[in-house]
Amino acid sequence: MKHTICYLSKDHQPMKNSELENLFNQVLEFNNSSNISGILLHNNNFFLQVLEGKKETIQELYATIRKDNRHKDILIVLDQKIESRIFKNYDARFSILKNKDDIEKINIYLSRYSSNNNYPTNIKRLLEPFLL
């Protein structure tokens, strides 16, 4: 069963660029090897992550994230079954959005994504505050 979890969280304490790069590399390696698609953004001490994959895999990963001391005030925004993954064909399956150009690229991608449900539209709305 395909599933998605999207969450917002705040840095427990501000992260240095080198710490963020290390985290991004770990996330890419783990998620790609675990057949997880999605995106991760970090801006103004906030994280937004969308995870897509097998329900059990996504739920186990999210449980691990909740225990990670780099996060606080975690808010789950979406936790639902999905018909299809919207990020499976985006870049390298799981993507780190590091700058405004990356965010604009994903917005364009999501605008062109056709679906019979609101999942792509909801994700696009969640990204809007990160455009500021």
- Per-residue model confidence as pLDDT tens for the chain (132 residues): 899 999 999 988 888 888 888 988 898 899 989 999 998 888 888 889 999 999 999 999 999 999 998 889 999 999 999 988 888 877 656 677 777 788 778 878 877 765 556 787 788 778 777 665
Q: What is the pLDDT of residue 14?
A: 84
pLDDT at 34: 93
Q: What domains lie within the chain, and their CATH numbers?
A: 2-131 (3.30.70.100)
Q: What is the dihedral of CA 72, 59, 38, 65, to 10 degrees?
A: 30
Neighbours of 84 (CB within 10 A): 12
pLDDT, residue 3, reads 96
What pLDDT score was predicted for residue 24? 86
Tell me the pTM: 0.85
Q: What does the pLDDT read at residue 92?
A: 57
CA angle 104, 49, 21 (to 5 degrees): 80
Which amino acid makes up residue 57? Answer: T
Give the model's pLDDT for residue 117.
64
